Amino acid sequence: MKRILTVQDISCVGKCSLTVALPIISAHGIEAAILPTAVLSTHTAFNKFTFRDLTDDISPICKVWHDEGIEFDGIYTGYLGSKQQIDLVLDIFRDFGEGKLKFVDPAMGDNGVLYKGFDEEFAKEMARLCAAADIIVPNLTEACYMLGVPYVASGYDEDYVKNILVSLTNLGCKKAVLTGIGFAPDQLGCYGYDAESGEFFFDYNEKKPQSFHGTGDVFASVCFSHLTNGKSLCEASALAADFVCDSIDATINDEKPIWYGVNFEKVL
């Protein structure tokens, strides 16, 4: 059985990061080992939240794993709580990631703005982590902040998206998938690029009337699970996008506000 490591926070309530990644990875028949980067009461889109930074625990935990001879078949990182954690994850890539799939979701913003607590400097640090990854899955906001280029909300063309993808892989990673891409008002999908083969792909669905918090984490968890199980990036991205759409359909009539995340549990 495959065992992977996922590094991201625990937001106790709000269906994102580890509370999403753990069940999704497990449901794909993969053992999910976790390294929590922080414990929050709720994710940072709630009005109030507590934040327990776990940076100091990361190296001692990794030392035990190293001493115990523990290995992983892949590493997937999501929301990271501090710049220091980026250096620690780079150490984890070096110590546990050689020859293994290193997958980075640079979760730090959406809709043209960074989440609370992040700044442009953090985005530049995240670009260093993306450089060391095999595959990255930013949304357009995260990509623009990492590259230091203006964010364009809509009305862009394929050349704009392709240029961003090429610039992302020029950071150092082999493949990149941009999520939340659409060339028409009713279109939303993901645009991918493999710098080794030079191939692009675009997969889209009909855009849902509402967008929900945490869908990036759902996408990344499903995509990484399928990749671990041997699917190509193009197949894994399309399956992940379909899963997100089905999760939104399972949520849309809920009373809960959008920052409570999507009902992915109904789709698993």
- Binding residues for ligand PXL (CB under 6 A): 9, 11, 16-17, 40, 43-45, 79, 107, 115, 214, 216-217
Distance of CA 164 to the CA centre of its chain: 17
- Show the tokens assigned to 254: 């809920």
Strand partners, 75: 5, 102
CB of 77 to ligand PXL, least distance (A): 12
Q: Which is nearer to ligand PXL, 17 or 228 (CB)?
A: 17
Give min distance, CB of 1 to ligand PXL, in A: 27
180 versus 214: smaller Cβ distance to ligand PXL: 214
Kind and range of the H or E run holding 164: helix 158-170
With a CB cutoff of 8 Å and minimum separation 6, the contacts of 18 are 6, 8, 9, 10, 11, 34, 36, 78
Residue 162 Cβ vs ligand PXL, minimum distance, rounded to whole Å: 26
**141/169 with CB nearer ligand PXL:** 141
Nearer to ligand PXL, 115 or 204 (CB): 115
Closest distance to ligand PXL from the beta carbon of 261 (Å): 8
Beta-ladder partners of 77: 7, 104
150 Cβ neighbours under 8 A, 6+ residues apart: 144
